[in-house]
Amino acid sequence: MKHRILIALLCCVCISASGQGGMYGAQAGMGYTPGYASRLTPAVEAYYLHKVMYHFYAGGSLFFQRYSFKTDVGSGAAHYGNVLSMEQRSSYIFLSPKVDYAINYRSYFHVFATFGLGVRVGGRELSYTHSPIWTTPGGTPYGADTLAVNTSYNLPGTKARFGFGLAERIPTLRFWNIMLSQEVGFMPGSLSKGPYALSTPYVCFQVGIMHKYPQVFVEY
């Protein structure tokens, strides 16, 4: 009799469970700007993503990237005072919402997108001008050289950025994973407030670790 009562009570209890979870991680690597003559620069990211629905995650990212490139801006014959080329080394930190979707059953591959706002945390800009070596007593310039002028005041203090990428997950022990990430990012508008429009994507390759955790909420 007692067993029947216990079974009846268990049958009357409504149990609903919804499995949720998320993941957080950090990664670092190198990036470059394919639009100009570029040097490899560091790229570092930390992120947190919460599972919204099946294979879909949403959260935030803190991303550091650095530009380092040089490009010619002059055209035609060089005249004294003309800017011939520009060199820029600028660093930004971006705080961005991030979405991620696992594209296969075991979540070995992820596609993701970010969009956010960043602030400049360092850098400089040099404008190389066509300048005379010296001037004769009659006021006629003689000879020519290239003079580097510091135009760092043209660097934007804040910039928007959006990016798209693909990541590969390599499972290790328990809930820890190795992540391989490839991303291309864009900052709309010019990278300089001067008269020359400097715009280029930023491509980076990163390696990091990610912890994926499950959560189960049970309601009675």
Which domains are delineated in the chain?
20-68+89-122+155-219 (2.40.160.20)
Mean pLDDT across the chain: 82
Q: Which residue has the tokens 């080329």?
A: 85
Tokens for 19, please give them: 């499995």
For residue 19, the cross-strand partners are 216
Residue 189 has pLDDT above 80, yes or no: yes
pTM of the full structure: 0.76
Q: What is the DSSP letter of 137?
A: T
d(CA 186, CA 210): 25
Work out the average pLDDT over 128-146: 67
11-56, pLDDT tens digit by residue?
A: 433 333 334 578 899 999 999 999 888 999 999 999 999 988 888 9
Model confidence at 220, pLDDT cuts 50, 70, 90, reads: very low
| Nearest CA-CA partner of 113 in 181, 43, 192 | 181
